[in-house]
Amino acid sequence: MAKALFGHVVAPAELRVVEENAVLRAKVRRLEQELLELRAQRDAAIAHELLSLAGDNAEPALA
């Protein structure tokens, strides 16, 4: 009954795995955010390059 009140007793090896999992998940979140930022920078650079290639006579695509 004590285990039911206090929850499952976790072995030290399991705690290490849980902590490592949390660290890895945080790292994945940071890398995903960095990837989004890099993609946004790349897209902005491509758009800028396309606009500079079009020059002053750029017209809307559906005009």
| Domains in the chain: boundaries | 25-51
32: which 2 tokens? 């995903």
Residue 13 has what pLDDT?
A: 81
Asked if 20 and 14 touch (Cβ cutoff 8 Å), the reply is: no
pLDDT in tens, 2-61: 555 555 666 778 889 999 999 999 999 999 999 999 999 999 999 999 888 877 666 666
pTM: 0.63
pLDDT at 10: 64
pLDDT at site 58: 60
Positive or negative torsion for Cα 40, 45, 49, 51: positive
